[in-house]
Structure 1
Amino acid sequence: MARNPRRRPYMRTLLIFLAAIVVIILGLWATLVLYFDEEKLKQIATEQVRAQTGRELIINGPLKLDFFPGISLVASDVELSGPENYSGPDLFTADEFRMSLSLMPLLSGNVETGDIGLQKAEVNIHTDLSGVSSLDGLAGGDAPAETDAPRSSVSTGQILLSGIRLNVTDAATDSRQVFVVERLQVDSFSYDKPVPFEFQGSLGDPPVISDIDLKGEVVVPSGAGPIQIARLEVDADLSGVAMGLSGSGEIQPGPPMAASFSDGRIRLGDSEFEAAFSYTDGPRPMIEATLEGEMLDVDALLASLPAAPTQSPEAGGDVDGDSAGDAPEDSPLLLLRDMDLDAELTLEEMKISGLTLNSIRTRLLAKNGIVTIDPLSGALAGGRLDAVGRVDLNAEPPSVSLSPVFDLENLGQALAPWGMDRFLTGSGVLDLELNARGLDVKSILGSLSGDGEYDFRDGSIKGLNLDGMVESLAARNIAEAVRTGVGGTTEFQTLEGVLSIQDGTISLPGMQIITELLGISGDVRLGMADLSLDGQIRVEGERLNQIPIALEGTLTQPRLVPDVGEALKEEAGRRVMDFLKKRSEREEEKEDGSDGG
C-alpha cells in the first residue's frame, strides 16, 4: 500500500515541537533547581521577613519547591519570633507552610501568590509584663502614619488554615483564652475587593463555645481607612444553647485599634435581639453596646456557662463547704476588672432566679473594676421592681450590693414563682438593702445580709388561724385553740415592720399585725434554707389580755405553743388589781360617808 508523503513533514514537525517542549521544561526545571537551592531559599525568606517585620523567621525543617501540580514553596517546622524587646513565646510555629507562586508578576516587582496553606500551627498573641505584644509592629503602628500612601500590590489565591491553635495571653493578669481553628478558608485576597471567608472552630479549651460556623466578606483598603466586614453570619453552640450572630462592622487598625458592629442580630435559643457595639483598645479597653429584644432567660444562659473551678489547696484557705464563697471564680463578669463597659439593655421580658420581669430597662456601667446597674426597672407579676446595684470586682471575693424596691399590687402573685403564695397574700411595699460576697448563686446566698422594711395591707397569712385560736383561748379550751390555730387563714388589715438578714436567717423584730379581732406583735425568725420558724408573738383582743404564743416547726408545718400559764398569771394579776382597786374605792366611799355624817 502506498504511503502518503505529506504526513512525514507534519509528523516530523510535531516530534520536533514536542522535543523542544521537553527540552524547555527540563531546562526550566534544572534552572529552578540550581537557582532555588534550599539554603538560598531559606536565606531569601529570612531576609525578606526580617526586612518587612523586624522578626526572625526560623525554618528548622526542609524548605523546598514543589513543581506539580504547580510551583509551590513548602516549609516544614517553621517559627516566627516576636518583636524586639519582647519576652514571651514565639508569635508563630507551624508543622507545614505551603504557598504556590506566580512567577510572571515577580518580574514586575509585585508579589502574587497562589494558594496558601497552613497545617497544625500554634499562634500566640501574648502581652509580656512590660506591655509589649507579640503583634507589635506588624500593622505598622510604630511607623509614622502615611494616610495617603497605598500598600504594595499583594494578592493571593485561596488561603486555607487547618488544625490551628490561637492562644491569647497576658503575663500581667495571667489571663488566657484559646481559639481552636478547625478550618479557616479565605478566597483569593486582593486589596480593595470583597474577599469571602469561612471559619470553623471553637473558643476555649475545653470549649466554651463550640461548633462555630462563621461566614462573611472582608474588604482591606490599599490605603488608609478601616477594614470593612460585611454579610457576617455566625452559628455556634454555647454549652448546649444554640446561638447565632449576623451583621456588619469595621475595624480601624489604629493606634489605637477600634472596632464597631452595627445592624446586628443575636440569637440565643429561641430569642432574638438587635445589637450594636463599639470597641476601643487601650490600657483599659472600652466597649459601648446596646441590646434590644423580646426575651432573655438569664437562668438558662448562666446554666450554660462553665461552673467556677474549685479552690486548690495551694491557693490558701479551707476547701470545705464553709469557705466555698472564698473559692476563685470564673465568671465572665471578671473581665470587667481590666476593661470598661457602658451598655444599655431594653427587653420585653427577662427571666432571672425564677422571677419573670417585663418591660425591662437597665444600664450597666463598668469603670475601673466598679460595676453599677442603674436603673434596673421592670414590671413583674403582681407589681413592679425598681433597683440599683453595685459590684466591686477589685475586692476579693467581689462584693455585691443591691437596693430593690418592690411595689406590689398582688403579693401572692409576685411570690408565686417560688411557691410562697401559699403563705402570704396582700399588697404593699417591700424596700431592701442587700449585701453579699462572690458572683455565683451559692456564694451570694451563703453570704447574703441586709435590712429593710415592709408595709402590707388587706391580705392573709395562710396556715395560721389566730382569730379562731384566740376565740378558743377566751373560752379556756386550750386543746381546741391549738387545733384551730394550725391551718386556716388569718386575714389582716395591716402587716408592717422592719427586717434584717444575717447568717441565713430573716429576722422580723417588732412585727405588727392588725386583724378584725386582734392586735398582734412579736419577734419572728425564718431560716432561708429550710424555712424553719422560731420566735414569739403576743395576741391581744377585746375578750382576752395578751397571750404569748411560741412559733416552732417550719413555714410549711408550723407549730403554735400558747403560754397559757403566762396568760393566767396576767389574768390573775389583773383580777387582783381590779379587786384591790374596787376595795380601795369602797373604802374611800365609806370614809366620805362618815365625814358627811
Structure 2
Amino acid sequence: MKWFKRVLILLLALLILAGATAAYLVATFDPNEHKDRISAAVKEQTGRDLVIEGEIGLTLFPRLGVSLGDTWLSNAEGFTDEPFARIREVELSVALMPLLRRELQVEQIRLVGLALNLERDAQGRTNWDDLVEAAETPDEPVEPRLERVPGEAPALRDIDVGGLVIRDASVSWRDEQAGTALRLDPFNMELGRIRLGEPTPLEMSLRLHQEEPAMTAEMDLNARLTIDLEAQRYDLRRLVAAVDLSGEELPADLSARIRADVGADLAAGTAAIDDLSVETLGLTLSGRMAVRGLDADNPRVSGELSSDTFSVRTLLRELGEEPPETADPDVLENVSVELAFEADADAASLTSLAVRLDDTRLTGNARVSQYDSPAIRAELDVDRINLDRYLPPPADEPVAPPRDAPEAEREGWPDDPIELPVEMLRSLNVNAGLAVGEMIINGLTLTQLSLTLSARDGLVELKPFSGRLYEGSIEAAMSLDVRGDTPRYAFEQQLRGVRMGPLLDDMSEDGEGLLAGTTRLNARINTRGQSVKDLVSALNGSGDFEFADGAVKGINIAQIIRDAEARLRGQSVERTDEPNQTDFSELRGSFTIRDGIVTNEDLSASSPLLRVRGQGNADLPRERLDYRVNATLVATLEGQSGRSLDELRGVNLPIRIRGPFSDPSVSLDLASVMEGRAREEAERRLREEVTPRIEEQREGLEEQLRDRLRIPGLR
C-alpha cells in the first residue's frame, strides 16, 4: 500500500503546484499588456485592425474565464468606414476539472452590444470574403479531420451551459448590387440552462427594418428549446410568437399570433412544424408542414392548411380595403379553405383544395413546374354558383337619345383602349379544366358545364366549352391571340334544342326576350382591335339558325295589318288582348357579318296565319337597323279579335323595320297595297263583267247591221 500513499502524495503535490502556479499567473499576468500583440497578430493574419478599447479580464482556476470590454474590427478595404464588427461586453467562463471527464460546464455566456455590418458592393464582393480566404489558406498544412461516424459518441460526453444572454445586438445588410438595405436592430435573446437532450426556456425579440420600400417587422417569441447533439435532433416546443408588420407597400398594419411545435432530425434529414396555428386578419389558420431530404440536393416540403369560417368583407376591412359592392350584400360572409400541398426545387403542387364560398363548394388541384418559366396545370369542380350575386349592382340606365337625334349625340361604342396584360398572357403556359354542376350568370342558367383553358406563347383558348342550356345543349370555342401587335378574338358556337324564350327572358334586363322557340344555331365570328369600338367594327363571320314552334316578340304583324287597314278606311283602331308577338311554326335563315354589318337575305317563317320572308341588315358600329319583312296572309284574321280581311289574302304586305337599336320604327305601307289591290279588282271586274256585256252588245249590233245590209233575194 506504500505505492498508493506515494501516488496520493504525488497527486496532492501536483495539485498544490498547479494551484500555486495558477495563483501566480493570475497575480502576475496582465492580459491587457498584450493588447498590441493581439492586434498585431490579427493584422498579420487578416490585414484588418482589431482595436480593444475596453479591459480584458482573465481567470484560470477553478474556472477558465475571460471578459472583454469595448472591441471592434475594421471593415474590409473598399467598403464603408463603419467597423465590420463591434461588441461592448463579452463574458465567458468554463469549469476546468469537468473537462478532464470530457464534460463542458459553462457559466452563463453574455454578449452585449454586438453589431455586425455586412455589405456587398456593385461587383458582388462582400466585406467578409477576405476573412474566408484567410481561414481557408493556412500558413501550415492541416491534418485532415476525421468525419464523425453517425451514432458514435461525440468528443464531449456532456455539455452544461448555465445560460446564454444576447442584449442589444444588431446586424445591418447593404447590397449595392441588388439595391437592398436591411437592419436587424435590436436583437435580444435569452436561453436558460442548456443541457443536451433537456428542454430549456427560450425568449427572443427582434426588429427588422427595410429601407426601400420602407417596411418594419417586429417579433416576440417564447419556446422550449431542446438540443440533442448525439441524436442530431433540435426541437422548439410550445412556440408562441407575435409578429407585427408595417410599411409603405402594405395596405394596413398587420399583426399575427403564431403557435407551433418545430423539430428537426438532421440524422434522418427531416424537419416538421406540427400543431401550427396562425391568427391574423380576423381568421385562424391551422395545419402542419414537413420537410424531407434535408441532407439531399432537392428537399421536399409537404403540408396541410385549413381555415375557420371567416368573412371576406371583414378580411378586406382589416387590410384597409373597402369590400366590393355586390348585387347581394350577404355574399362573401361565410368562407373557409382546406388545402394540402407539396413542393420541391422543381415543382409545387396543390394536391387537394376544398373551398366553401357561401352556398358554393369548390374542389380541385393544381401543379406548377419550371419556376423560371412556370407551367401551370389545374382542375376545379364547382357544385353550383350564382355569379350574379357577386357582380356589382345594376347601374341606373342612361336615357337613350331620341330616334331622330343627330348621330353625334349618340354615345356609341366605347373607344377607350382595352388594357390587356399582353406580356403576362404571352408568358403563360396553362392547361386548366373547370366543371360546374350549375351556374347562373347574367340571368342565364347553365348546367353540366365543362371547359378547358389552355394558354401558350400568347394564344389563349377556351375549348371545348360544353353544357346543358334550357333543355338543350351548347358547344363553343373561344380564343384570344396576342402574339401579334393587335389582339385577335375568335368565337364558335353551336346550340341544339335550346328553348330560346326562357333563355332570352333570363338574359334581358326587363325579363322579356325577342324570340321564343326551340333553337338550332351555328355561328363563327372573329374580330380584332384595341377597343370595343374597334372590335365591333372589325366583326366578321357567318352562321345559320332555325327556330321551331316559337314567336318573335315585340312585333305583332296581325295587329299592324289591322291598325293600318282601320286607318286607311278612316275607322277607329281596334285594341285586343293579344300578346305583342308574332307566332310562327318555323323560322330559319342564315347571316353573314362583314366589318360589323350583319346581313340576312333568306329569312323565312311560316304560321297558320302568315308566310314571312325577310331581308336586311343590322349596322352594329352605327347601332342602326334596316330590315324589310314581306308578310303574306294565308288565312283570315277572324278569331284573333279582328275583322276578316279576305281581300288581303295572298297579298304581299311589306313591313319596314328601321332606326336605332334602342327605338326602331315598324311600319306597314298598306295604302299602296290597297291601291294595287283596287287596280287589280277593277281590272278583274272589267274582265269579268264589262267585257262580256260589250261582247253581247257587239254581237247584237253586228246582227242588226247585217239585217240592214241584207239584199233581197240574197242570203
Considering the TM-score relative to the shorter chain, is it more than 0.5? yes
Going from structure 1 to structure 2, the CA distance change for 1:280 and 1:104 (only over 3 Å counts) comes to farther
Contact 1:233 1:247 in 2 (8 A): no
Superposed displacement of residue 343, structure 1: 1.2
Whichever residue aligns with residue 468 of structure 2, its letter is A
Q: Structure 1 CA distance, aligned partners of 2:572 and 2:547?
A: 27
Q: Residue 40 in 1 paired to residue 86 in 2?
A: yes
Q: Which runs of 5+ in 2 are unaligned?
A: 1-58, 74-82, 88-112, 129-162, 214-231, 265-270, 317-322, 325-331, 394-410, 635-648, 700-715
Whether the 8 Å contact between 2:86 and 2:115 is mirrored in structure 1 is yes
Residues 421-449 of structure 1 deviation map (CA, whole Å, 9 limit, x = unaligned)? 45422112122223456899999789866
Aligned position for 2:179: 89
- CA deviation vs aligned residue, 1:380-414 (integer Å, no higher than 9, x gap): 23422211111224456643322122223422112
* Structure 2 counterpart of 1:130: none
Correspondent of 2:606 among 514, 539, 545:
514
Alpha-carbon distance, 1:220 to partner: 3.0
Answer yes or no: is 1:545 the counterpart of 2:651.
yes
Larger Rg, first or second structure (1 or 2): 2
SS in 2 for 1:194: strand
**Residue type of the alignment partner of 2:584:** F
Task: Give matches, 1:113-512, under 5 Å.
Answer: 115=204, 117-121=206-210, 160-163=242-245, 182-183=255-256, 185=258, 187=260, 189-191=262-264, 192-197=271-276, 213-221=284-292, 222-224=294-296, 225-233=299-307, 236=312, 237=315, 239-240=323-324, 241-242=332-333, 243-252=335-344, 254=345, 256=346, 258-299=347-388, 324-329=415-420, 335-394=424-483, 398-419=487-508, 421=512, 423-435=514-526, 450-470=541-561, 477=568, 488-499=580-591, 508-512=600-604
C-alpha separation between the residues in 2 aligned to 1:548 and 1:189? Answer: 85
Distance 1:491 1:536, change over 3 A: same
C-alpha distance in 2, partners of 1:431/1:535? 22
Alignment partner, residue 71 of structure 1: 165
Contact 2:362–2:380, Cα closer than 8 Å, also in 1: yes
Contact 1:495 1:512 in 2 (8 A): yes
Deviations 1:172-230 (A, max 9, x none): xxxxx9998543746464322324555566xxxxxxxx767544322234323311222
Please tell me the residue identity of whatever aligns with 1:81: D
CA contact (8 A) 1:469 1:484 kept: no
The alignment partner of 1:326 has SS state of: coil
For 2:147, the equivalent position in structure 1 comes to: none
SS at match of 1:567: helix
What's the offset of the Cα at 1:98?
2.4
Q: Within 1, Cα distance between the matches of 2:170 and 2:445?
A: 58
Q: 1:342 to 1:379 in 2, by over 3 A?
A: same
CA deviation profile, 1:265-324 (whole Å, cap 9, x unmatched): 1223331211211111333201111111212344555659xxxxxxxxxxxxxxx99664
Q: Is the 8 A contact 2:341 2:348 kept in 1?
A: yes
TM-score using structure 1 length: 0.63
Task: Please give the alpha-carbon distance, in whole angstroms, between the structure 1 residues aligned to 2:627 and 2:572.
Answer: 19
Secondary structure of the structure 2 residue equivalent to 1:516: coil
When structure 1 is superposed on structure 2, of 384-393 and 459-468 the one drifting more is 459-468
Query: What residue in structure 2 maps to residue 133 of structure 1?
Result: none
- 1 CA distance for matches of 2:666 and 2:460? 46
**C-alpha spacing 1:327/1:511, structure 2 compared with 1 (3 Å):** same
Instruction: Please give the secondary structure, in 2, of the residue aligned with 1:414.
Output: helix
* Aligned residue identity for 1:400: Y
Q: Which amino acid aligns with 1:466?
A: I
Work out the percentage of aligned pairs sharing the same amino acid. 19
Query: Contact 2:429/2:457 (CA < 8 Å) preserved in 1?
Result: yes
Query: Equivalent residue of 2:67, what SS?
Result: helix
Whole-Å separation in 2 of the counterparts to 1:381 and 1:523? 29
User: In the aligned structure 2, how far is the partner of 1:337 from the partner of 1:178?
Assistant: 30
Post-superposition offset of 1:79 = 3.1
Please give the alpha-carbon distance, in whole angstroms, between the structure 1 residues aligned to 2:248 and 2:471.
Answer: 50
Distance 1:554 1:495, change over 3 A: farther
SS of the residue corresponding to residue 328 of structure 1 reads coil
Using the TM superposition, give the Cα deviation of residue 357 of structure 1 relative to its aligned residue in structure 2, in angstroms.
0.9
Between the aligned partners of 1:514 and 1:384, the Cα distance in structure 2 is 25
- Distance in 1 between residues matched to 2:194 and 2:428, nearest whole Å: 46
Contact 1:325 1:443 (8 Å CA) reproduced: no
Q: Residues 414 and 533 of structure 2 are in contact (CA less than 8 Å); yes or no, is this contact kept in structure 1?
A: no
Distance 1:33 1:442 in 2: 77
Distance 1:501 1:73 in 2: 78
Residue 670 of structure 2 corresponds to which residue in structure 1? Answer: 564
Contact between 2:256 and 2:278, CA under 8 Å: does it hold in 1?
Answer: yes
Measured after TM superposition, the shift of residue 339 of structure 1 is 2.7
User: What's the secondary structure of 1:412's corresponding residue?
Assistant: helix
One-letter identity of the residue aligned with 1:376: F
How many residues are matched? 481
Partner Cα separation in structure 2 for residue 537 and residue 507 of structure 1: 14
Unaligned regions of 5+ residues in structure 1, if any?
Answer: 1-23, 58-68, 125-151, 168-176, 202-209, 305-319
Cα-Cα RMSD: 5.3
TM-score with structure 2 length normalisation? Answer: 0.54
Give distance in 2, aligned partners of 1:404 and 1:98: 65
Q: Which residue of 2 aligns with 1:137?
A: none
